[in-house]
Amino acid sequence: MLPDFSEYNWVIPDFVWDLSEQIDLDKLAKALPEREELAKLLPDFDKIGENFSFLKNLLSSGVSFGSEVKGASGLHPLLETSGDSPLRAPGSSASASQDVSDKQYKKDIPQQGLLGELILIQQQIQRHEEEVRRAAAANSARPPTTEPQRKRKTTDKEKIDQLQEELLHTQLKFQRMLERLEKENKELRKVVLQKDDKGIHQRKVKKSLIDLYSEVLDILSDYDANYNTQDHLPRVVVVGDQSAGKTSVLEMIAQARIFPRGSGEMMTRSPVKVTLSEGPHHVAIFKDSGREFDLTKEEDLAALRHEIELRMRKSVKEGQTVSSETISLSVKGPGIQRMVLVDLPGVISTMTAGMALDTKETIFSISKAYMQNPNAIILCIQDGSVDAERSIVTDLVSQMDPQGKRTIFVLTKVDLAEKNLASPSRIQQIVEGKLFPMKALGYFAVVTGKGSSAESIESIKDYEEDFFQNSRLLRDGMLKAHQVTTKNLSLAVSDCFWKMVRESVEQQADVFKASRFNLETEWKNNYPRLRELDRNELYEKAKNEILDEVISLSQVTPQHWEAMLQKRLWERVSTHVIENIYLPAAQTMDSGTFNTTVDIKLKQWTDKQLPNKALEVAWETLQEEFARFIAEYKGKDQDDIFDKLKEAVKDESIKRHKWNERAMDSLRVIQHNALEDRSITDKPQWDAAIQFMEETLQSRLKDTESMIRDMVGPDWKQRWMYWKNRTPEQHIRNETKNELERLLKLHDDHTAYLANDEVTTVRKNLEGRSVEVDPVLIKDTWHQLYRRHFLQKALSHCNLCRRGFYYYQRHFVDSELECNDVVLFWRIQRMLVITANTLRQQLTNTEVRRLEKNVKEVLDDFGEDMEKKTHLITGRRVQLAEDLKKVREIQEKLEAFIEALHKEK
């Protein structure tokens, strides 16, 4: 009967079996070499049969050599178990059924081709080894009794040594033949994958099984698990002491020097997840990048190593040495074993200068976090060139996996270990699990080069093969053939990985299914009328609302802009106009002096302050309108969850916005020209100026009277009706006010300032009424009283000027009425109108669009900053939607992976 070929997936990868359903095998068969040519590559099976016949005859003569033949077969299962090998013939019926099974198998060889012949050789080697062991055990019970028998035993032993050496060479030749066929198989697969629809019908590209699985792990690495949901999906966790050779082993499995290297310093600063899969080209690509690195080109390899180093350093926060942030990388190439590995920072025993104080504990914490996953395969790397007692990682691994059911032990730098160790049997103790207190599923010994970073993967492979071929460790049977080389290691690790995946993935899918049900139930109970929008979807919705609100700024009418700008600008400059321009000029003796004073002060004001004030007002007006639209926007989908985001966007946009600097120079010229114009063309403009002046003076008079009331306290009516009293200071102020009012009645045209003798007179008069008063208080009170007196007179004069337009047109010739103050207010009013119009044009034509552009930039920047979005869009509703999305995505991808996994079976 034929053996179960599913046990030989390591010889013919799964991808080839999958292709058989889509590929025209007849066309491929024509491209393959003839069977006769392949047969030339095989060893001389007749000679092997003669050697085993000779060996059998020796056994029948009573020679004991069972202890001499060790490790004869290099094709044992890669990870031995307590049971029999699936290809090992049963001992009880071996002699009876060998011929029948051989004939039946040879009959099927033409159907299976070279693969069947290779399997037959393996069966023959294993069967004869079993016979040797049984015969040796039987003969060991009969010691030689005569001298001829002893001599014959010595001669036979020499022949046995020669036979053992020939058997080892045959085995190595067989291994090389397998590797050569595997290389040819990789080239064939590459050709198959690159065929277009001329040779093979084109089919839709599907994601590979390992890529589907890797996507699930990527999502889980970003998922903040709730409801006690944990990531227990299998992956291969590579752990070891610093500089033990972890990265080198991983590079040999990936068949490329992809990691940055350093001489004795820590290079792996964060976990690196590497997804290995098959593909036509040897390339690497990051999860979050579209760039492919061609691993056959040295410049791309250097760029990849540099990018990995940059990402590691970027992931490490300030003040730290290592990071728990995972870097995700995919490596594809012909013949690469499919699996997911995570390279962890090397375990250290002592911290060096420059390291953070918690570096050692952080590395232990990261390692334990990955190893405590009950389905993780632990690839424990031990440096063979150093004393085993210095190892730290073995104790850590034994704590995480005491029974060794998911640990594979790898001894690196065996070439140095063989050279340095006085007792090579110590290496045998290590790989047999007798030296360390930890247990393992399998033990391997590898060589990863001579220590030079310039070595290529091919040169390292050749060096490793040559070393083990000539090593006494393998020749003396201290190591078994299936325990050496990174090739056998990668096959074993891949086999364990997929076995663990098949055993655990469905259970993990059920866990996420239950978690999804819990989350959906919570959403239905708390938010029955709302759609499940995650943070990104909510952000896009808020982004559209904000942009709509910004666009609304362009819908503001010109009249509204100008009215707001004119009002706010006058509120900002009115104090300066009254106190620094109008009042000083109005106190002059004649109209010529008045106009000269006004012109000088207006020129100074326009050159230094007015344009700046105008732009400040325009910018503040734009901000307030923008804030008003954001605050008052009420759509049917208005959601208060966006309030924090909108406020942040508004503040950041305003912070980034800067008014066009060239606008100030042009505005200064416009304002200067407007203030120089004194020609009032018609009566409505005159009346408007009088009204503007009257409103301004009334407002100032009202403020002045309010200030006087605060100075003198409540009058008799308030004191009588509301039981209020004056303070002593208010009493003094009131007496001073009464005295100064009498002075104003006597001198209606008094100047703005009191003379010193007048101050003395007022103080003495108050002292006569037993009121002690300070001269400063007298002058302060006088300022407010005179201000009120002046404003009252100005209002009376304003009323008289209502009929003064006729005299104005005649330049007040032959008229006692002079209305230069009305002309001043007209000039100010006209400047306000022209300035508001100019600023409105700048707003609508330039600044609103620039603000809209700033808002878009801010929204784009916020959209790329996940930390910012998480801070601005918060709440249980958002987190619940996020968890639901993640759990659904994980469950769906797990189900797709499980379906593909079942199809592959």
pLDDT given at position 831 = 93
What is the CA angle 409-412-416, rounded to 5?
145
Reported as a single tens digit per residue, the pLDDT across 679-689 is 888 889 888 99
Higher pLDDT, 541 or 91: 541
- DSSP for 316-340, please give it: SPTT-S---PPEEEEEE-TTPPPEE
Work out the percent of the chain whose per-residue pLDDT is above 70: 73
The count of residues in the chain is: 905
Residue 828 has pLDDT above 90, yes or no: yes
Kind of pairing, strands 327-332 and 272-277?
parallel
Confidence band of 10 (pLDDT split at 50, 70, 90): very low
pLDDT of residue 743: 87
Mean pLDDT value across residues 374-401: 84
Least confidently predicted of 88-102, 446-460, 480-494: 88-102
Among 12-16, 180-184, 898-902, the minimum mean pLDDT is found in 12-16
CA-nearest of 734, 736, 741, 732 to 712 is 734
Asked whether the CA dihedral 418, 421, 424, 428 is positive or negative, the reply is negative
CB-based contact 125:171 (threshold 8 Å)? yes
Better pLDDT: 313 or 77: 313
> In whole angstroms, what is the distance from residue 563 CA to residue 147 CA?
130
634: its two tokens: 């009420």
Which pLDDT band holds residue 43 (cuts at 50, 70, 90)?
low
Both tokens assigned to 474? 């393998």
User: In whole angstroms, how far apart are CA 393 and each of 21, 381, 405, 542?
Assistant: 46, 8, 17, 51
CA angle 177, 179, 185 (to 5 degrees): 105
Residue carrying structure tokens 């994601």: 207
Ranges 484-488, 632-636, 834-838, most confident: 834-838
pLDDT of residue 559: 92
Give 138's pLDDT tier (boundaries 50, 70, 90).
Answer: low
**For residues 678 and 827, is the Cβ–Cβ distance under 8 A?**
yes
Whether the per-residue pLDDT at 432 is higher than 90: the answer is no
pLDDT value at residue 467: 86
Q: 566: burial class by Cβ within 10 Å (0-12, 13-18, 19+)?
A: buried
CB 411 within 8 A of CB 402: no
Q: How far is CA 200 from CA 25, 26, 98, 190, 196, in A?
A: 10, 11, 43, 14, 6
Report whether 100 contacts 187 (CB < 8 A): no
* Higher per-residue confidence, 15 vs 412: 412
Alpha helices in 636-682 (DSSP H): 643-656, 662-676
Rounded Cα–Cα distance for residues 336 and 409 (Å)? 21
Whole-number Å distance between alpha carbons of 413 and 622: 71
d(CA 120, CA 126): 10
pLDDT band, very low/low/confident/very high, at 107 (cuts 50, 70, 90): very low
pLDDT tens digits for range 228-278 = 446 788 889 999 888 888 888 888 898 888 888 765 566 788 899 998 888
For range 351-375, the mean pLDDT: 86
Are the C-beta atoms of 248 and 448 separated by less than 8 Å? yes
The confidence score (pLDDT) of residue 352 equals: 76
CB 271 within 8 A of CB 342: yes
- C-alpha–C-alpha distance, residues 52 and 69, integer Å: 13
How many other CB atoms sit within 10 Å of the CB of residue 727? 9
Q: What is the mean pLDDT of residues 365-378?
A: 90
H or E stretch covering 760:
helix 756-768
Cα–Cα distance measured from residue 867 to residue 539, given in angstroms and rounded to the nearest whole number: 13
Q: Which residue has the tokens 């980034």?
A: 656
Give backbone dihedrals phi and psi of 383, rounded to 5 degrees, phi first. -75, 115
User: For residue 67, is pLDDT > 60?
Assistant: no
pLDDT of residue 197: 37
Q: Are 248 and 385 in contact (CB under 8 A)?
A: no
Lowest-confidence pick of 341-345, 410-414, 711-715, 861-865: 711-715
Query: Stretch 356-367: mean pLDDT, rounded?
Result: 87
User: Are 425 and 383 a contacting pair, CB within 8 Å?
Assistant: no
Rounded to whole angstroms, the Cα distance separating 491 from 75 reads 12
More confident call, 67 vs 327: 327
Three-state secondary structure of 99-111: HHHHHHHHHHHHH
Mean pLDDT (whole number) for 71-96: 36
Looking at residue 108, its pLDDT comes to 43
Contact 340, 333 (CB under 8 A): no
Helix orientation angle between 114-139 and 94-112, rounded to the nearest 10 degrees: 160
| Of 113-122, 329-338, 863-872, minimum mean pLDDT range | 113-122
Non-local (6+) Cβ contacts of 70 within 8 A are 476, 477
Q: What does the pLDDT average to over 56-67?
A: 41
293: DSSP letter: E
Range with the largest mean pLDDT of 151-160, 163-172, 368-377, 542-551: 368-377
97 pLDDT exceeds 50? no
717 pLDDT higher than 90:
no
Can you tell me the distance from the alpha carbon of 766 to that of 775, in angstroms, rounded to the nearest whole number? 11
| Average pLDDT score over the chain | 77
Is this structure's pTM higher than 0.75?
A: no
Q: In terms of pLDDT, which residue wins out, 730 or 62?
A: 730
Beta-strand pair 293-294/283-286: antiparallel
Structure confidence at residue 143 as a pLDDT band (50, 70, 90): low
Q: Is the pLDDT of residue 786 over 70?
A: yes
Question: What pLDDT was estimated at residue 833?
Answer: 93
Sequence-distant (6+) residues with CB within 8 A of 334 are 186, 187, 189, 190, 278, 279, 280, 282
Which amino acid type is present at position 630? I
How many secondary structure helices (H) and strands (E) does the chain include? 34, 9
Sheet-wide strand order for 407-412:
293-294, 283-286, 327-332, 272-277, 339-343, 236-240, 377-383, 407-412, 442-445
| Model pLDDT, residue 262 | 64
Segment of 152-161, 477-486, 735-744 carrying the highest mean pLDDT: 735-744
In this prediction, residue 637 has a pLDDT band, given cuts at 50, 70 and 90, of low
- The label of the residue with tokens 């160790």 reads 421
CA distance 166 to 154: 19
CB neighbour burial string for 179-204, b if at least 16 within 10 angstroms, e if fewer: eebbeebbeebbebeebeeeebeeee
Surface-to-core class of residue 7, CB atoms within 10 Å of its CB (0-12 exposed, 13-18 middle, 19+ buried): middle
Chain centre distance of CA 361: 24
> Which range scores top for mean pLDDT: 333-337, 754-758, 834-838, 844-848?
834-838
How far separated are the first and last CA of the chain, in Å rounded?
A: 21
CA proximity to 611, closest of 672, 553, 652, 562:
672
456 pLDDT band, cuts 50/70/90, is: confident
Q: How many CB atoms lie within 10 A of CB 571?
A: 10
Which residues sit opposite 328 in a β-bridge? 273
Q: Is the CB of residue 617 less than 8 Å from the CB of residue 572? A: yes
Which one of 418-422, 542-546, 829-833 scores highest in mean pLDDT? 829-833
Interval 222-226 mean pLDDT: 51
pLDDT of 29 strictly over 60 = no
What pLDDT is recorded for position 129?
Answer: 57
Rounded percentage of the chain residues whose pLDDT exceeds 90: 12
pLDDT at 47 > cutoff 60: no
User: How far is the C-alpha of 45 from the C-alpha of 508, rounded, in Å?
Assistant: 49
Contact between residue 407 and residue 397 where contact means Cβ atoms under 8 Å apart: yes
CA distance 192 to 20: 11
Whether residue 59 has pLDDT greater than 70: no
Q: How confident is the model at residue 280 (pLDDT cuts 50, 70, 90)?
A: confident
Task: Compute the distance between CA of residue 380 and CA of residue 240 in angstroms, rounded to an integer.
Answer: 6
Supply the pLDDT for residue 165.
63
Of residues 714 and 172, the one with the higher pLDDT is 714
CA dihedral 310, 313, 315, 318 (to 10 degrees): -140
Q: What is the pLDDT of residue 472?
A: 80
pLDDT at 24 over 80: no
Paired residues of 329 in beta bridges: 274, 286
pLDDT of the residue at 211: 82
What gap in Å lies between CA 109 and CA 858, rounded to an integer?
71
Please, which residues have CB within 8 angstroms of residue 307's CB and are 6 or more apart in sequence? 286
Q: Once rounded to an integer, what is the mean pLDDT over residues 33-40?
A: 54
DSSP per position, 41-62: TS--HHHHHHHHHHHHHHHHTT
Radius of gyration of the chain from its Cα atoms, rounded to whole angstroms: 48
Q: Of 51 and 743, which is predicted with more confidence?
A: 743
The answer to whether 698 and 795 have CB atoms below 8 angstroms apart is: yes
CA dihedral 142, 144, 145, 150 (to 10 degrees): 170
pLDDT tier, 104 (very low <50, low <70, confident <90, very high otherwise): very low
The two structure tokens encoding residue 541: 């919705």
Give the number of other CB atoms < 10 A from CB of residue 526: 11
Residues in CB range of 484: below 8 A, 6 or more apart: 414, 444, 445, 446, 468, 474
